[in-house]
């Protein structure tokens, strides 16, 4: 088992074969690794591997290239950085071409220095080349340079593929259905993240800065093996919670306010994406609890409906019905309730979608099949993982009773679709009023 991937190398080999089985006869696929990104002068951000490349290789170094050849036989080829004692003393160990072949089970490996000379030969005489055209201009240029070399060498019997195919759809459809070993990693990413949310609840106190709670969360992630958050953590006290992607995290928490935390660990490449909202002082006021219980009721109703064959459009409808009815009962929405539900009146305060796919990317890949109503109607299938995250947001300008103004609430769980229905992967993060108040009791 590779320490970076936590998934056996045989599974990566199988994914490559599954992809090649879908490629046209006599074609070649090119999937580049990620590149290091400069943070400042000569220092880089912590490296994040390209997720499609990672899915097919488990290889954790930048600058590599996966080549898949589908001909009479199928072949997996990796180009990667050469061993280099001087570079390795400064920047860390490299696997090297020789070890990559045996450790990651490629048929052939080369050092990057050989790329320009050898890559055209793998593309030569193929009917089609598959790659993610447009996602990486430097790589586009490399592929087009190879094609030009082949087109210019007809007299030597070389030919360039006539067809270019976007490989993303094929890989992304595969990534949408998680294997048992991927689910195991995602369960663990969720356990770590749920513990971080619990710790944040226990640490919460009037007068702390939002970033101090963020520090607790990031410590819990890293200490448990998830060195990165899957996305910028949101710790939003009071009205900051009405800013959906608030990441400044630099204000003081006030005793009578709620704090919204949207934070998830990335473990072995896989994201968790959990949101909890709770009172800074550990006790909900009457009005906070009214809104909180309404969002929770919507979330629980949607989650209870998750099963194979359902879809995001149904989930959105359930959330809208529960939220609109609740807002009507609280006097926040007025008029004819039936009509309000048809008009999706809750959307005034629930301003984002009910959820998204989750996996190697936090907003994971895979088609939603958005129809003409812009509804997400792709059927849920066992092995899909998705978030369910209703919310209500009343900024200081909202035309509502002043007791509700400045309140933002979101509750977000990570749901695995199973044969029988669903499994809530983030179930260990407390979310009922009584569970939250109990864990926060000093």
Residue placing its CB nearer to ligand GLY in the complex, 70 or 356: 356
Question: From the CB of 386, what's the least distance to Mn ion, in Å?
Answer: 9
63 as an active site residue: the answer is no
Cα–Cα distance between 277 and 160 in angstroms, integer?
57
Question: From the CB of 173, what's the least distance to ligand GLY, in Å?
Answer: 21
| Annotated catalytic residue within 191, 273, 361, 364 | 273
262 as an active site residue: the answer is yes
Residue 49 interface partner, choices Mn ion, ligand GLY, none, CB cut-off 5-8 Å depending on type: none
389 as an active site residue: the answer is yes
Residue placing its CB nearer to ligand GLY in the complex, 33 or 196: 196
For 21, phi then psi, to 5°, come to: -60, -25
Question: From the CB of 426, what's the least distance to ligand GLY, in Å?
Answer: 12
Q: Rg of the chain's alpha carbons, rounded to an integer?
A: 25
Q: Are 109 and 77 in contact (CB under 8 A)?
A: yes
Residue placing its CB nearer to ligand GLY in the complex, 57 or 387: 387
Cα–Cα distance between 157 and 372 in angstroms, integer?
49
257 as an active site residue: the answer is no
Cα–Cα distance between 146 and 131 in angstroms, integer?
13
| Annotated catalytic residue within 246, 349, 393, 422 | 393
Residue 364 interface partner, choices Mn ion, ligand GLY, none, CB cut-off 5-8 Å depending on type: none
Q: Among candidates 189, 185, 168, which has minimal Cα distance to 11?
A: 185
| Annotated catalytic residue within 61, 257, 412, 413 | 412
For 148-166, the DSSP string reads HHHHTTGGGT----SEEEE
Instruction: Tally helices (H) and strands (E) across the chain.
Output: 13, 19
393 as an active site residue: the answer is yes
Cα–Cα distance between 78 and 112 in angstroms, integer?
9
Q: Could you give the 3-state DSSP secondary structure of residue 410?
A: strand
245 as an active site residue: the answer is yes
Cα–Cα distance between 381 and 173 in angstroms, integer?
12
| Annotated catalytic residue within 182, 187, 356, 422 | 356
Question: From the CB of 352, what's the least distance to ligand GLY, in Å?
Answer: 8
C-beta pairs of 332-335 under 8 Å, 24+ apart in sequence: 332/400, 332/401, 332/404
User: Residues interacting with Mn ion, by CB under 5 A?
Assistant: 262, 273, 275, 387, 412
Residue placing its CB nearer to ligand GLY in the complex, 308 or 353: 353
Residues in the chain: 442
User: Residues interacting with ligand GLY, by CB under 6 A?
Assistant: 231, 262, 273, 356, 362, 389, 412
Residue 200: enclosing H or E segment and its boundaries?
A: helix 180-203
219 as an active site residue: the answer is no
In 94-245 the beta strands, taken as DSSP E runs, fall at: 108-111, 128-131, 163-166, 228-229, 234-237
356 as an active site residue: the answer is yes
Largest Cα span, the chain: 82
Question: From the CB of 172, what's the least distance to Mn ion, in Å?
Answer: 18
| Annotated catalytic residue within 60, 187, 197, 410 | 410
412 as an active site residue: the answer is yes
Q: Are 58 and 103 in contact (CB under 8 A)?
A: no
| Annotated catalytic residue within 262, 361, 364, 413 | 262
Residue placing its CB nearer to ligand GLY in the complex, 119 or 272: 272
Residue 231 interface partner, choices ligand GLY, Mn ion, none, CB cut-off 5-8 Å depending on type: ligand GLY
Contacts of 134 (CB under 8 A, 6+ apart): 140
Question: From the CB of 356, what's the least distance to ligand GLY, in Å?
Answer: 6
Question: From the CB of 318, what's the least distance to Mn ion, in Å?
Answer: 17
Q: How many CB atoms lie within 10 A of CB 37?
A: 11
Residue placing its CB nearer to Mn ion in the complex, 299 or 387: 387
Residue placing its CB nearer to ligand GLY in the complex, 160 or 425: 425
103 as an active site residue: the answer is no
Residue placing its CB nearer to ligand GLY in the complex, 187 or 356: 356
For 291, phi then psi, to 5°, come to: -70, -40
Cα–Cα distance between 261 and 198 in angstroms, integer?
11
Question: From the CB of 231, what's the least distance to ligand GLY, in Å?
Answer: 5
266 as an active site residue: the answer is no
| Annotated catalytic residue within 245, 372, 373, 419 | 245
| Annotated catalytic residue within 91, 219, 227, 352 | 352
Question: β-strand 128-131 against 163-166: which pairing, if any?
Answer: parallel
Catalytic residues: 42, 245, 262, 273, 352, 356, 363, 389, 393, 410, 412
């Amino acid at each position: 088992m590779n320490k970076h991937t936590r998934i056996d190398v045989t599974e990566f080999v199988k994914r490559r074969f599954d992809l090649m089985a879908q490629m046209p006869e006599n074609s070649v696929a090119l999937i580049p690794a990620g590149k290091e990104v400069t943070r400042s002068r000569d220092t880089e951000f912590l490296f994040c591997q390209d997720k499609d490349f990672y899915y097919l290789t488990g290889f954790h170094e930048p600058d590599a290239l996966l080549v898949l050849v589908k001909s009479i036989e199928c072949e997996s080829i990796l180009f990667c950085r050469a061993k280099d004692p001087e570079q390795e003393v400064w920047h860390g160990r490299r696997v090297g071409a020789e070890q990559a072949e045996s450790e990651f089970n490629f048929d052939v490996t080369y050092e990057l220095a050989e790329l320009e000379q050898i890559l055209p030969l793998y593309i030569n005489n193929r009917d089609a080349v598959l790659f993610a055209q447009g996602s990486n201009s430097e790589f586009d240029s490399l592929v087009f340079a190879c094609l030009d070399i082949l087109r210019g060498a007809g007299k030597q019997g070389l030919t360039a593929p006539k067809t270019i195919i976007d490989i993303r759809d094929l890989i992304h459809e595969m990534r949408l259905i998680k294997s048992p070993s991927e689910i195991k990693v995602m369960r663990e990413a969720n356990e770590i993240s749920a513990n971080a949310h619990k710790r944040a609840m226990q640490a919460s106190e009037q007068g702390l800065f939002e970033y101090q709670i963020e520090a607790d969360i990031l410590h819990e992630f890293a200490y448990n093996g998830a060195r990165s958050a899957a996305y910028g953590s949101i710790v939003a006290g009071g009205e900051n919670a009405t800013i959906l992607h608030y990441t400044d995290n630099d204000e003081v928490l006030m005793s009578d306010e709620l704090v919204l935390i949207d934070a998830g660990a990335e473990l072995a490449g896989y994201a968790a994406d959990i949101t909890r909202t709770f009172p800074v002082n550990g006790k909900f006021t009457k009005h906070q609890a009214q809104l909180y219980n309404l969002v929770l009721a919507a979330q629980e109703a949607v989650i209870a409906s998750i099963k194979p064959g359902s879809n995001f459009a149904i989930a959105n409808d359930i959330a809208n019905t529960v939220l609109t009815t609740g807002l009507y009962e609280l006097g926040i929405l007025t008029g004819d309730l039936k009509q309000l539900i048809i008009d999706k009146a809750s959307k005034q305060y629930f301003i984002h979608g009910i959820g998204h796919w989750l996996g190697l990317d936090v907003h994971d890949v895979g088609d939603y099949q958005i129809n003409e109503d812009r509804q997400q109607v792709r059927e849920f299938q066992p092995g899909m993982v998705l978030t369910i995250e209703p919310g209500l947001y009343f900024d200081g300008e909202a035309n509502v009773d002043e007791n509700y103004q400045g309140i933002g609430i979101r509750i977000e769980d990570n749901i695995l679709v199973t044969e029988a229905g669903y499994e809530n992967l983030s179930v260990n993060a407390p979310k009922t009023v009584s569970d939250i108040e109990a864990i926060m009791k000093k």
